[in-house]
Amino acid sequence: MNMKLSSRERAVNGSFEALLIVIAALFFIPVYYLIVTTFKTPDEATFSPLSLPRHFNVDNYILAWKTMRFPRVFLNTLIVTGVSVIGIILLSSMAAYALARRAHALNKFIFYVYLAGMMVPFQMGLVSLYKLINSLGLMDNLLAVIVVNIGNGCVIAIFLFHSFISTSVPLELEEAAFIDGCSVQATFWRIAFPLLTPVIATVAIVTTLNVWNDFMNPLLFLQSRENNVILLEVFRNIGQFSVDWTSLFPMLLLGVAPLLVFYLLMQKYMIKGVAAGALKG
């Protein structure tokens, strides 16, 4: 149906769009300040914080690369993030499948316990968690951060997988597989798991963002510089009484850049996952 907007409606829409543009510009100012400061000298950053640099100098990035030993901390961060994401996806999908496909009162109770875990702040258990990791001899080990990330990330992941399996994975396909002689494990891996691609992408993106940006767990469980992750290395290069922003901001951008590239490549899969759940839920 072809509808023509009145002049008043067009004016309202135009004003609203202009307001959104102004708001977007205001939110972009800190990003602009972050980027231009990385190319400035300390004097330029102090006396002309929002102006463009007189000369775009990449020496700050070279210094940041060497100071934070970027290849080493990037590898550590990549290992922690990759193993944590894979572990969360595999364990959460299997747990959610069992909880969603078994209409038993105990299964419902267990699922509600997981949901209750979403309401409890993670920081409440840090002391006990620290003692547990220390007793297991995992202090100053990347495995300690990975184990904690998996335990913490499985809560929301099980909820997402459970909802998707209950609403978007046809039970008839699994029943046909059972008739053909497939076991529960074979049915999950051959039938159900391939259908979970949209929610797997969503969980992978959300978990990657959370783990990559996590600062608390590495700070608690990693002491040596050889095991530093990116954010921890940035923190340890900040001065106690003063901060050189022209040195700090390049470190931040080096740490954020891989995550930004990953998000730009994967955001369409996240949108598909959200849309699939909204349409079929």
| CATH T-level topology, domain 68-280 | MetI-like fold (1.10.3720)
Q: Which two tokens stand for residue 234?
A: 């940035």
pLDDT in tens, 67-90: 888 999 999 999 999 999 999 999
- Amino acid identity of 159? F
Cβ neighbourhood burial of 130 (10 Å; 0-12, 13-18, 19+) = middle
| Rounded Cα–Cα distance for residues 45 and 34 (Å) | 10
Confidence (pLDDT) at 92:
93
Residue with tokens 């959610």: 96
Confidence (pLDDT) at 239:
62
Angstrom distances, CA of residue 90 to CA of 51, 94, 102, 150: 49, 6, 19, 10
Locate CATH 1.10.3720.10 in the chain: 68-280
pLDDT in tens, 150-198: 988 888 899 889 888 888 888 888 888 888 888 888 888 988 898 888 8
**Higher per-residue pLDDT: 265 or 227:** 227
Quick one: three-class SS letters along 243-267?
A: CCHHHHHHHHHHHHHHHHHHHHHHH
Backbone angles phi, psi at 57, to 5 degrees: -110, 130
Confidence (pLDDT) at 90:
95
